[in-house]
Chains A and B, each alone.
Chain A
């Protein structure tokens, strides 16, 4: 009797606090679009839209997941938030746009040429971003490996600014990045919808980009969605196999577990770290082409947003965990699309950042991460 009484009191207090928090969320939430009656009404009015947002969310989530892999691999190995990673993705977008432009793919009507241009753009974007990411590691992080924890993070932020400036200059070069009008801000460039052009050129599906047009549903499942999801899945499975099966993958896992022990066993730590950055950068480059084709914009500041979203995804899944990054990427993509659809487009960024803050505060190890104690 004596032991249960105080316990019950605490429970009551907790319940009261939880109720108060829920009440405050219900009270203030509608300002940021979290208005349950309105959401219910929107879903009821058009249930098919839910599927539509699901498709958009998964496709965007695939891109976010690919970027998040780069964050999570680097963090797993040297415990550094590679802040410049999102900007490497932005460079990937600009590289592929430039390759498409210089090869004359942008205004081509020949399907063979478009496919060739896209594959070339993919390869070059991967190579450029991999090299850039490895160069960043060499220039900004390597000498700080034994410095206090915050020094490489500050250096990474500096690198991010430098690359953003490079992107800004790149966007200003009219001969590299052709202008098709601007979307939104003055420095935002249009990334032409090459896949739609490819569709029209081949005449497949009656030249209609919407694969579900013949069903008569009010749904759009375009070639873009399919390509992004397929390509992302291939990359993720490939990376998983690489890390699990190959010798270098094994060396990476060993280095992530214990750097000093790995060194003693004869693993070339510098090479393993460089390889990690190369792979992460390459993935960001591939994501750059996919993101450009899917969202049809190229903007020098897009790397910051994309970087924070994918970092959130990596943390949500459990940083250092490759499957976690994929799961987190899809979840963040869904959060984005549902927030855009049902809450409010203007507040989506706030919701994403709020998610980031909440995960770090409530479960810093993420959904699939192991308990690492005070590591964070």
Chain B
């Protein structure tokens, strides 16, 4: 029953999304929802795998594996059918009820039938396929899951191109925030230092790239070199800005990082007329009536071009592919996927290393960690530097992808958006941060604009003509713009997550325990007092 309920939930979520996009989106949602549902189900299903005698032939082994997988998949079939059915019902509602309300009538009934049948099959196939991996041994299962995920990640931009949904460009933005979230997760999740100015490092990475690879400064370095310089620059500034905050804890640390995070955009906005004169020779010695010649290092240099921003910025190019074009998001997509894979690899290695364990020890109890021989100064500084490194990557990619950088992008709200991604997904857990970043940023960049178009079409075609009062009419028309509510989205995410599930959607076991230790202690005390009464 629980499984059927999950199936209905997934079907409804996918179905509501098809409301916004229509067309082939139902099939794409079937793919995503199928895999998500399959992963969820396989966690609930019992493992049907039984070790096979090694003496049996290869053919027998294959047959045996297929049978166990089939058995697992069979149990997921009712759920898969429910999910697919709900999805298709929603899609049909979309085509025959919603679309006419938006002023678009169904012209090609064959297309509708084809998309819905394909969606139904895809949902069922991918749900059962993902669930059937439960029939493999533990090792094989995780490998098979990875292969499945890799298939989806690689196939996505091509599916997107075929179905003409044009999601890839927006997904790339979400992926930039995934990298930023991964970096912030080191500082906040692993080392437990709440950094409210993380966008400053993003800005430093982006501006480093902008200054070093833009023709406006006549230093056009290659992107593949600049991305490393940007990461190194961000890391250095992570050290410099982290060093003064070392004696602080908790909310004071958060406010100091916020202060730095506010100063950096002001800096980039205002470094437009830089003059550096040597003070001794220019005015201090003349005060004592000593004649000198004034030494000027820099005179009226425009470094960041203020609000106008730096544009254009050089783009990466590769043999066989040539220069990356903005018209073709697929190359950019694979570039950022490569950066994310590198980041995940580095972060996982770091977490398991001595340094990573030191971060977590500092997070749990700085005093005790210090007594155990961990150098808190070095550990915290490395957390800031490592966290900043990944935002350097993200900044370099962002600058090259957008082809221009503007100071307003890197203000306080950017820091908080990144923090929301990390909090939503789950502090201290790489998978959680990826899911959180993807969910929140696709909601921001993909669903809100789609919802805006959806609502405005619905209003002009159906709702507004039925409202006679002109004041109400204009008020409804002005306020039905979901993009205006994006701060609400992030704010509510933070408030609700803190109230309901502070450990995030996919928490790390350690942090969950920490956050709920008080409740568990209370429950234990209650239980022990009850048992005491019984006696």
Contacts and interface: CB of A to CB of B under 8 A. Distances in A.
A172 B498 contact: no
Interface string B316-341: 00000000000000000000000000
Contacts of B493: 158
Interface residues of B, number: 60
Contacts of A199: none
B353 to A, nearest CB: 25
Interface in B255-271: 255-256, 258-260, 262-263, 266-267, 269-271
Nearest to B495: A158
Contacts of A154: 194, 419, 423, 494, 498
Nearest to B500: A143
Interface string A123-143: 000000000000000011001
A36 B498 contact: no
Contact of B492 (A149, A158, A308, A349): A158
A272 interface: no
Contacts of A304: 412
A102 interface: no
B263 A354 contact: yes
A30 B275 contact: yes
B254 interface: yes
Contacts of A158: 420, 490-495, 498
Nearest to B415: A157
A143 B271 contact: no
Contacts of A147: 498, 502, 515
B499 interface: yes
Interface string A15-36: 0000000010011101110001
A214 interface: no
B485 interface: yes
A350 interface: yes
B251 A23 contact: no
A116 interface: no
A77 B518 CA distance: 22
B250 interface: yes
Interface in A165-182: 165, 168-169, 172-173, 175
Contacts of B245: 361
A335 B422 CA distance: 36
A288 interface: no
A350 B487 contact: no
B479 A169 contact: yes
Contacts of B279: 23, 26-27
A147 to B, nearest CB: 7
Nearest to B494: A158
B491 A148 contact: no
Contacts of A364: 248, 252
A155 B254 contact: no
Contact of A360 (B256, B267, B485, B495): B256
Contacts of B275: 30-31
Contacts of A315: 255
B484 interface: yes
A150 B254 contact: yes
Give the residue among B196, B251, B412, B498 with the most A Cβ atoms within 10 A: B498
B495 A353 contact: no
Contacts of B249: 374, 376
B475 interface: yes
Contact of B251 (A150, A160, A349): A150
Interface residues of A, number: 57
B244 interface: yes
Interface in A299-350: 304, 308, 311, 315, 344, 346-347, 349-350
B515 A172 contact: no
Contacts of B46: none
A349 B244 contact: no
Contacts, number: 159
A226 interface: no
A162 interface: yes
A164 interface: yes
B276 interface: yes
B266 A349 contact: yes
Give the residue among B251, B270, B493 with the most A Cβ atoms within 10 A: B251
Give the residue among A81, A144, A163, A353 with the most B Cβ atoms within 10 A: A353
A320 to B, nearest CB: 13
A209 to B, nearest CB: 33
B120 to A, nearest CB: 39
A155 B251 contact: no
Given A154-B494, A311-B255, A361 B244 contact: yes
B499 A30 contact: no
B499 A81 contact: no
B263 A350 contact: yes
B274 interface: yes
A184 interface: no
B166 interface: no
B498 A151 contact: yes
A354 B276 contact: no
A357 B256 contact: yes
A73 interface: no
B164 interface: no
Nearest to B257: A357
A37 interface: yes
Contact of A172 (B251, B271, B478, B494): B478
A164 B256 CA distance: 22
B516 to A, nearest CB: 10
Contacts of B244: 357, 361
A304 B280 CA distance: 40
Interface string B282-306: 1110000000000000000000000
Interface of A: 23, 26-28, 30-32, 36-37, 80-81, 139-140, 143-144, 146-155, 157-165, 168-169, 172-173, 175, 304, 308, 311, 315, 344, 346-347, 349-350, 353-354, 356-357, 360-361, 364, 374, 376
5 contacts: A158-B420, A159-B491, A162-B491, A357-B256, A374-B249
Given A148-B514, A155-B499, A361-B248, 20 more contacts: A28-B276, A37-B283, A147-B515, A157-B494, A158-B495, A158-B498, A161-B416, A161-B488, A162-B487, A164-B491, A165-B486, A165-B491, A173-B478, A304-B412, A350-B266, A353-B260, A353-B262, A354-B263, A356-B255, A360-B252
Which 5 A-B residue pairings sit nearest by Cβ, starting from the closest?
A: A158-B494, A161-B491, A162-B491, A26-B279, A158-B495
